[in-house]
Amino acid sequence: MESLLAYLKKEREQEWRVELRSKIKNKERTSLERLAMPEADPDIRNKSYCEVNKGLTEEQAIHEARRCIDCPSPTCIYGCPVGINIPKFVKLIEAGEFLESAKVLKETNALPAVCGRVCPQEAQCEKTCFYNEKLKKPPVAIGNLERFAADYERNSGHISVPEISSHNGIKVATIGSGPASLAFAGDMAKMGYDVTVFEALHEIGGVLKYGIPEFRLPNEIVDVEIDILKKMGVHFFTNFIVGKTSTIDDLRKQGYAAFFVASGAGLPNFMNIPGENYIGIYSANEYLTRINLMKAAHDDYDTPVISGKNVAVIGGGNTAMDSVRTAKRLGAKNARILYRRSIEEMPARNEEIKHAQEEGIEFLNLTNPLEYYGDENGRVKGMKVQKMELGEPDDSGRRRPIPIKGSEYEIEADTVVVSVGVSPNPLIPRNMPELEVSAWGTIKVNQDTMQSSIPDIFAGGDIVRGGATVILAMGDGRKAAGGVDQYIKEKVRNILSLIKEFKTIGDILEFATK
Ligand code: FAD
């Protein structure tokens, strides 16, 4: 098979690409400044759920695409877990062929409008961009361009549906409907399989819908990308808990030939400190689900949520930023982050931290909660916290937070959102004792095929990695699709070779009844 580099080089020599390169000298390209993403005014957006990032205009996108020098050996592509042909989609934007650009994205990415909004590009494709690696200049804004192409296509109304091979009639199931599952479903459908997605909640999308707020990722954008999968023939069942509504064994009996478990890491962690059960203390998952999925902020929904004036969010990841920015939008006067390390160690994306700061979020870094206080009705009213200092790096490579003795003090808090990590969803592993899991409850898989210890069960995304990212989950989904295809083809080959050995119709009937 042709190597990826050879393939990319051949594509780069296509006439239109050569012509485009010849129009502008590299020196001129590299002298262009990276364009900032247009954003909504912080004082307006922190009171509304409108999208914060506004997207590039056509002119801005073409300018940004011109910065890409169309490297002979592109390194950006190796930073993309789903292997998008980045130079090609960027050059199509430069050429003004926006719809064609969106098609290139969809060849390997079932959710380009989602990824263009939430992927940590700074740690992936943009990190390995030539500008970063060799010129020490801001990389090409690949994520902003991905969003542009996907949005352009959606707004144009000419939404392309990827080509699918002829149906092979083989049924496969995927459990959960987050990005891992959706990527798996897209690839399997393209290969001609009959794919069904089983989702426990009443909405499709996993964290994309119940976790990430609409001011970062509007639900309607997720829905458009899901609709494309529906058009590709993928079936969706909601309110269906695999392990309760039906077991995997029940589904095997219905003829599913293989399963992809992508049930995520939706089990929240708590700190187990005194007072954590007071009313008004939520896990980030519960808090965000009430608002994003159950629409607690909308007047015409009756989902309750406590909209405190003094909200403390514990943690420093994307989930903590989403929670605290949501609290601000719900009317909190003081919306605070309490994080036990310094801002440099925060796992949240830089952009999310910047947006939170602009929106008036207060950061109490190097601060850790010790205990919560409640009123006579059992409602949280305050907390004791302690100052921390940083010691030597720990196993995560980040400097270890060390409590400073005698530095305890109290702060008011009428709502607390605990966002200190998540654990894998335990339902499926608990129902299948033969399924090998790690000490943390993640499903163990072969890293090349995503096959678990049970041959017809594959797994990927957060249930394998613990809480990770959208694009890593999607990369797993794509890898698992390759693994399942290989597994099923192998099985079919074995059956065919067995059939060749049969001498009589009786042999065939005996085999069929086994
Ligand atoms: P999930 O998205 O968790 O989906 C799993 C689905 O499986 C859920 O819908 C669940 O209901 C369903 N399910 C579970 N058990 C069953 C069952 N037994 N039967 C049927 N269905 C079941 N990543 C980024 O890259 N960028 C970000 O900006 C970002 N922000 C985030 C913000 C928040 C608030 C959170 C919580 C996470 C964020 N992440 C972000 C992480 C990212 O969303 C996850 O890594 C990703 O969604 C994992 O995908 P998944 O498909 O493995 O699982």
Output the CA 260–ligand 1 centroid distance in Å: 15
pLDDT at 52: 97
Q: pLDDT, tens digit, for every residue of 388-441?
A: 999 998 887 888 999 999 999 999 999 999 999 999 999 999 999 999 999 999
pLDDT at 117: 97
Strand 334-339 and strand 281-283: the pairing is unpaired
Q: Closest ligand 1 atom, CA of 211?
A: 34
pLDDT at 171: 98
Output the CA 258–ligand 1 centroid distance in Å: 22
Contact of 102 with 152, CB cutoff 8 Å: yes
* Arithmetic mean of pLDDT over the chain: 95
pLDDT at 305: 80
260: enclosing H helix or E strand: strand 256-261
Mean pLDDT of 258-263: 98
Length of the chain (residues): 514
Residue 454's pLDDT band, with cuts at 50, 70 and 90, is very high
pLDDT for residue 307 is more than 80: no
Q: Closest ligand 1 atom, CA of 176?
A: 7
Best probe residue, ligand 1, of 263, 319, 445 (max atoms within 8 Å of C-beta)? 263
pLDDT for residue 265 is more than 60: yes
Q: pLDDT, tens digit, for every residue of 85-140?
A: 999 999 999 999 999 999 999 999 999 999 999 999 999 999 999 998 889 999 99
Output the CA 476–ligand 1 centroid distance in Å: 13
pLDDT at 396: 79
What is the phi-psi region of residue 168: left when phi exceeds 0, alpha when psi lies from -120 to 50, beta otherwise?
Answer: alpha
Return d(Cα 360, Cα 70) in angstroms, integer: 40
Output the CA 20–ligand 1 centroid distance in Å: 40
Q: Decide: helix, strand or coil at residue 173.
A: strand
Q: pLDDT, tens digit, for every residue of 469-485?
A: 999 999 999 999 999 99
Output the CA 54–ligand 1 centroid distance in Å: 24
Give this prediction's pTM: 0.94
Return d(Cα 409, Cα 379) in angstroms, integer: 20
Place of tokens 């400073």: 404
pLDDT for residue 511 is more than 80: no
Mean pLDDT of 446-463: 98
Nearest CA to ligand 1 atom 8: 206
Contact of 209 with 219, CB cutoff 8 Å: yes
Listed residue (363, 466, 484) closest to 424, CA to CA? 466
Return d(Cα 46, Cα 360) in angstroms, integer: 8
Return d(Cα 365, Cα 337) in angstroms, integer: 7
Q: Closest ligand 1 atom, CA of 240?
A: 20
pLDDT at 1: 47
Best probe residue, ligand 1, of 318, 326, 471 (max atoms within 8 Å of C-beta)? 318
Q: pLDDT, tens digit, for every residue of 206-232?
A: 999 999 999 999 999 999 999 999 999
pLDDT at 2: 63
Phi/psi for 40 (5° steps) reads -70, 150
Output the CA 219–ligand 1 centroid distance in Å: 14
Q: Closest ligand 1 atom, CA of 204?
A: 9
Task: Give the side-chain half-sphere CA count within 13 A for 277.
Answer: 0
Output the CA 202–ligand 1 centroid distance in Å: 15
User: What is the DSSP-derived secondary structure letter of residue 131?
Assistant: I
Q: Closest ligand 1 atom, CA of 179?
A: 51
Phi/psi for 385 (5° steps) reads -125, 165
Return d(Cα 70, Cα 88) in angstroms, integer: 8
Calculate what percentage of the chain has a pLDDT beyond 90: 88
CA 439 vs CA 442, 454, 455: distances in Å: 8, 18, 21
Ligand 1 proximal residues by C-beta, below 6 Å? 118-120, 175-181, 198-201, 206-207, 211-212, 241-243, 262-264, 266, 288, 318-319, 322, 425, 427-428, 461-462, 467-471, 473
Return d(Cα 65, Cα 58) in angstroms, integer: 10
Return d(Cα 429, Cα 441) in angstroms, integer: 8
Mean pLDDT of 168-191: 97
Return d(Cα 391, Cα 399) in angstroms, integer: 6
Q: pLDDT, tens digit, for every residue of 318-342?
A: 999 999 999 999 999 999 999 999 9
